[in-house]
Amino acid sequence: MTVAHEKIEIERIFEAPVALVWRAWSDPALRERWQNPSSSWTMVFENYDQRSGGTEVCHCGPGDEMTVHFTSHYPEVVPEKRIVFTTVTADNENVASVAATSVEFEETGGKTQMRFVESIAFIDGRENLADRTMGPKASIDKLAEVIEAETAKEPRHAG
């Protein structure tokens, strides 16, 4: 049995206030629009409880075939500041990885900087860093699209 330890770090600045970026992370309807990194995969939340002490269970896979399962625990959620969670990723038979993730938000001048850091233990080569990194990068690109669309819906205030 081997365990490889890796880290993913992604920083992004959104042209939106932190309240909107936070809503995109915490509102299940908005999150479902960006969380799934692939249009050819289906993602289903069995349980959605993104609060301090909460647990989330999610299944995904190509089409209707649910082959990847995520169980996340949220020890700390501070609205508009940070989300800290652990995730066990498994296929239908084995645990593939265990991750500790933090997402931090900071607003400056109406823009929001988001910092995503994930430390992952990959178990027995069932998953790898290159493949794993594609998911968050694609999801965060989709998150930017959702935030842009939601920003366009908000009324403009004359200064």
Q: Is residue 159 part of a domain?
A: no
Predicted confidence (pLDDT) per residue in 6-59, tens digit: 999 999 999 999 999 999 999 988 998 998 877 888 888 889 899 999 999 999
Q: Is residue 158 part of a domain?
A: no
Instruction: Tell me how many domains the chain contains.
Output: 1
Bridge partners of 108? Answer: 111
CATH code, domain carrying 104: 3.30.530.20
Predicted confidence (pLDDT) per residue in 87-122, tens digit: 999 998 999 999 999 999 999 999 999 999 999 999
Cβ neighbours of residue 88 closer than 8 Å, sequence gap 6 or more = 70, 71, 72, 95, 97, 98
